[in-house]
Structure 1
Amino acid sequence: MIRTMLLTLQALVAVTSIAGGLVMAIGSRPGVDKSVLPPELQLPEEYLSGSPFSTYLVPGLLLAVVVGGLHGLAFVLHLRRGAFASLAAAAAGYSILVWIFVQMALIPFSALQAAYFGAGLAEVGLLLLLLGVTARVPEGT
């Protein structure tokens, strides 16, 4: 059950991070008609004013490749019960936590940030449960 929950979270974050990152990156290209995107997918240019970026290209690529890629890798390794599945899951969980933390420092708060921060916390928590962090320690040790 715990493994299934972790796999589900990893898949969800992987797919949405890759999709969101690609929308950000492609939408930042000159000549792209942003009016075809729904209003909720159009990111305001003023969000970039407090950041080191002039377009959403680099943040979009970072979101897709780093956050989405790590979650995709963690998902595949956990699905196949690979040797580095736990390490990949930890890296993926912390990557979304860092991403959201940095985002909250640079742009206004949104409920989506809270949801993904919660997903990152859940990933790390589920991983700890899978690793047996709650196992009882024998008395006398």
Structure 2
Amino acid sequence: MHETRSIRVPLAVVLGLFSATAFAGGIALIAGSLDPSLGLAITPPPELLEGSLFDSYLLPGIVLAVVLGGMHLVACIMVLRRQPHADLAAVAAGFAALIWIFVQMVFIPFSVLQAVYFGAGLLEIGLVLLQLGVLRGERSPRLAG
């Protein structure tokens, strides 16, 4: 990874916050689907799943916590440890976030949280592009041909 501390730190913060909230949201969806009395205020109504592949929020909750939260956690750790493919992991996590929000918006009406998380995914990708020098018009040594 092209080392730029001023970009690496905010990237790790965004990835870490995304991971923590994805895990918490996934747990809320799982808890709400297993026991509706445990459903938190952020658990969408089950009627929103009508016409989807899901009859409860159990599987979406597992995917949110494990896949999306896990990808962001792994990317965050890789960025903090300056692992060689941390930029790839961060971009993959950012694209996963965008895909999650696109799919979610098919079934769930627009909410401000969707815009926030879509923006966070774009921010992750943008920070990696800055780190690689792509948005500054530089050519990264790894991208140079």
Q: TM-score, normalised by structure 2?
A: 0.86
Structure 1 residue 20 and structure 2 residue 25: aligned?
Answer: yes
Cα drift, residue 3 of structure 1: 1.3
Structure 1: any 5+ residue segments left out of the alignment?
none
Say whether the 8 Å CA contact 1:74–1:88 is kept in structure 2: yes
Aligned twin of 2:130: 129
1 CA distance for matches of 2:138 and 2:63?
40
Aligned to 1:114: 115
CA distance in 1, matches of 2:15, 2:138: 28
- Aligned match of 2:142: none
Q: Which residue does 2:103 correspond to in 1?
A: 102
Q: CA RMSD in A?
A: 1.4
**Cα displacement (A) at 1:136:** 3.8
Cα 1:77–1:19 shift into 2, 3 Å: same
1:55 aligns with 2:56: yes
Deviations 1:63-116 (A, max 9, x none): 011110000000000000012211110110000000001111121110100010
CA distance in 1, matches of 2:104, 2:37: 25
Q: Which amino acid aligns with 2:57?
A: Y
Runs (4+) off by over 4 Å = none
What TM-score does the superposition give when structure 1 sets the normalisation length? 0.88
CA distance in 2, matches of 1:42, 1:64: 14
The aligned residue for residue 44 of structure 1 is: 45
2:86 aligned with 1:85: yes
Query: Structure 1 residue 72 and structure 2 residue 73: aligned?
Result: yes
> Residue 34 of structure 1 contacts residue 42 of structure 1 at CA under 8 Å; is this kept in 2?
no
Whether the 8 Å contact between 1:7 and 1:78 is mirrored in structure 2 is yes
Comparing 127-136 with 15-24, greater Cα deviation is found at 127-136
Percent of counterpart pairs with the same letter? 50
Deviation by residue 1:32-74 (Cα, 9 ceiling, x = unmatched): 5236x3xx32320111113110000000001011110000000
